[in-house]
Amino acid sequence: MDIERLTLEEWDSALPNSGFEVFHDPDALAVLDNHVDSELRLYGAFKGQQAVGLLPVFVDEKAVGRTVFSPPVSLGVPRLGPLINPNSPKRRKWERINSELAEGVIDDLEIEKRSTLFRMTCPVGYTDPRPYGWNEFSIEPKFTYVVDLEGCTDLEDAMSGFSKSLRNEMRRYDDLDLTIETEGIDSALRIYDDVVEQYEEYDDTAPMSRLFLRDLLSGLDDDRWRVYVARTPDGEYKSGIITLFSNDLAYYWQGGVIASYKNVSVNNLLHGVILNDLVTDPELESVTGYDLVGANTERLCEYKGKFNGELRPYYVVESEGLEMTLAKSAYQKVSGSLK
């Protein structure tokens, strides 16, 4: 098996038809590359002419040492990491590709060295981070909720497992004079203002810049994102959600700040319209799950749990040891905190 460095064009050709996250899209990677002071390196594992494994990383050389991240920090990218796409259903084939890709990237980047800080948040569906553990990296499980939409033909199907209160509120949409429609980048930036305010309430900073958000939506194809906005009859903005799409998943990415209209949660109504589109719009036919993007913050899980989504694990792989603790502290001072 050969491990090769790829261009974005080669990455695009090698990307499988399913099983990847939205930020594995080459257009998304190009925008990330433009917004970080790091070198994007794209690795591919090949068996003959077929790409059977892929891994994008961002490499940054600093006076305090080298950092290797996938995804880069402070841009609101929930997950990136490796993709394994064997041409055989046998488990041992998957494990061999996974192990050789990990070893190849570790060797090429020398990320086992004490002066290198490595952090990788793997995609949902990547179930075996053991090769990194065998190379003395720490492995921590994280979780997200994914609402299963397989076989759903209407909103009632999608809501079948939701809490009673959530179902009742979503059903109120047709009785209200509130409109929820998809809008453009200007409205996404209005939603961004909500996000900034929400983070400030918790003495935190927004996970991305306004410029990055604009460039990301401008750079992605139209079928990779939608901006859902709720407005009153006179056009007053109430709330909105920025939704991203891979071939398999829709992502509740940004927005959904608490707002009400005639004693009904606007956030619930927004999710209801999004879900209705996911199960009825032919353009979204390949999407079989709604990723609520995180189940790791206790105060948010009480709400997200009402959707009865499947709790899906993913893994954070990171350098460990005293040297890495010191390197991380130094990097935080130079480049901001690691989330």
What DSSP designation does 221 have? -
Number of domains in the chain: 2
Residues 253 and 279 in one domain: yes
Residues 65 and 185 in one domain: no
| Tokens of residue 23, six digits | 């930020």
Residues 329 and 299 in one domain: no
Residues 258 and 323 in one domain: no
Number of Cβ atoms within 10 Å of the Cβ of 4: 13
Q: What angle do CA 150, 287, 79 make, to 5 degrees?
A: 115
Residues 128 and 53 in one domain: yes
| Tokens of residue 95, six digits | 């494990």
Residues 21 and 125 in one domain: yes
Residues 281 and 304 in one domain: yes
Residues 308 and 324 in one domain: no
Residues 69 and 97 in one domain: yes
Sequence-ordered list of residues with C-beta below 8 angstroms from that of 209, at least 6 positions apart, any chain = 35
Number of H helices, E strands in the chain: 11, 15
Whichever domain contains 183, its CATH number is 3.40.630.30
What DSSP designation does 123 have? P
> What residue type is assigned to position 289 of the chain?
G
Residues 213 and 101 in one domain: no
Residues 123 and 61 in one domain: yes
Is the distance from CB of 81 to CB of 24 less than 8 angstroms? no
Pairing of strands 116-121, 65-70: parallel
Residues 298 and 159 in one domain: yes
Going residue by residue through the chain (339 aa), what tens digit of pLDDT does each one get? Answer: 899 999 999 999 999 999 999 999 999 999 999 999 999 999 999 999 999 999 999 999 887 788 999 999 889 999 999 999 988 788 999 999 999 999 999 999 988 777 889 999 999 999 999 999 999 999 999 999 999 999 999 999 999 999 999 999 999 999 999 999 999 999 999 999 999 998 898 888 888 999 999 999 999 999 999 999 999 999 999 999 999 999 999 999 999 988 999 999 999 999 999 999 999 999 999 999 999 999 999 989 999 999 999 999 999 999 986 455 555 555 444 444 443
SS3 state at 219? helix
> What range does the domain containing 258 cover?
145-312
Dump strand ranges (E) for the chain.
Answer: 2-6, 39-47, 50-62, 65-70, 83-84, 116-121, 138-148, 179-183, 225-231, 237-245, 249-255, 260-261, 264-265, 289-291, 310-318
Rounded-to-integer distance, Cα 268 and Cα 260, Å: 9
Handedness of CA 273, 277, 280, 281 (dihedral sign): positive
